[in-house]
Amino acid sequence: MSDDKFDVSEPWRNSNQDWWDWYVALACNDESLDKRYPYQLPDVLTNQTAETRTMEGVHAAYPLTEKDVQKFRVNGFIKLKNVFSEVLIALLRLHIQRELTVHFGELKKRNQKFLSLDLIWEKNKVIKEFVVNKRLAGIAAKLLNVNAVRLYHDNILSKEPGCGRTPWHYDTHHFPIATSNVVTAWIPAQAIPIEMGPLVFAKPITAYKFVEHLRFSKKDTTYDRDVKKIFREKEEVEIVSKPYELGEVSFHHNLSFHSASPNLTDESRLVLANTYFEDGARVVEQPTMVSGDWQNFIPDTSPGQVICTERNPVCWEKC
């Protein structure tokens, strides 16, 4: 078998959307993707007056408990209810849909199964409030026990009807940031039942140690299948797959192994994912193609340099 299958040392030279098209193709799908479960959006998400709704509370501190923090540090992830109100989620969803339509056209005309938009916070003032966000970044900083966090980048993710699994991975593979103090806030823009494809986590956080010897394959589903097999065999690993309520947000550490189920509903699964990291971190010495378009997310910064660009603002710091 050629080593080229495993060589990811070359930089990624295409767009972030191209990266996602490649990446989701590396997931094994053992079940039919032709099933469809009807999904009914609640009225609060379809009400056309969402544009006029208030942003009140979007930056307010969240009542994170010490129990929450300890749970995160053991498991590598946590799901928190009522991080944002239904009204705020309705406003976020409205603007996510607008951005997707501008870039990809109406839902019925889209060809790709997984859509991605990044750095939208720089163009859309409403989405910026959900990205350069003290509430989310404050949770991330407290979970990590650090004094300040910066933004790596935002990512609007739309898993379209009929899109298959997202492969097993941990974000240490993807983020070219030389620290383990990295957290991604995953904000669904609707409730996510099992049939729509919620995130699936392997706990505890140390589950990655069982699979870190595996070589990542850039050409087929081997890596995803091997991780899945090992996790099934290890009694020490528990797979957690649960729905998300409206307003519920998950936070996962960059060492947390996770995947996502297929979207078998007739509605797009819309999510805003923001990644925050400890202020003072540097770019890793050797970014790879698995880091995607990282130079767009961390401009004018070379490997080994501290990350402190305007595109990576400090989103929360301890007073």
Its CATH class, for the domain covering 14-26+59-312, is mainly beta
What pLDDT is stored for residue 50 in this prediction?
Answer: 67
What pLDDT is stored for residue 1 in this prediction?
Answer: 45
What pLDDT is stored for residue 108 in this prediction?
Answer: 62
What pLDDT is stored for residue 48 in this prediction?
Answer: 67
| Mean pLDDT computed over 284-313 | 96
What pLDDT is stored for residue 173 in this prediction?
Answer: 86
| Residue 206: φ, ψ to 5° | -80, 5
Mean pLDDT across the chain: 94
| Mean pLDDT computed over 159-183 | 95
Express each pLDDT in 201-249 by its tens digit. 999 999 999 999 999 999 999 999 999 999 999 999 999 999 999 999 9
Number of H helices, E strands in the chain: 8, 11
| Mean pLDDT computed over 121-130 | 97
Question: What DSSP assignment string belongs to 173-230?
Answer: GT--BS-S-EEEEEEESS-B-GGG--EEEEESGGGGGGTTTSPPPSSSSHHHHHHHHH
- For residue 10, the Cα-to-chain-centroid distance in whole angstroms is 24
> Hey, which bits of 92-198 come out as E strands?
114-118, 148-159, 166-169, 182-188
* Residue in the structure block whose two tokens are 């091997």: 226
pTM of the shown model: 0.96
Q: Which residues sit opposite 184 in a β-bridge?
A: 252, 275
What pLDDT is stored for residue 46 in this prediction?
Answer: 85
Using a pLDDT cut of 90, give the percent of the chain over it.
87
What pLDDT is stored for residue 54 in this prediction?
Answer: 78
Express each pLDDT in 81-115 by its tens digit. 999 999 999 999 999 999 999 998 876 667 779 99
Q: How far apart are CA 149 and CA 137, in angstroms?
A: 7
What pLDDT is stored for residue 109 in this prediction?
Answer: 67
Q: Indicate the SS3 state at residue 128.
A: helix
Q: Where are the domains of the chain?
A: 14-26+59-312
| Mean pLDDT computed over 49-75 | 91
Lowest-pLDDT range of 11-20, 135-144, 183-192: 11-20
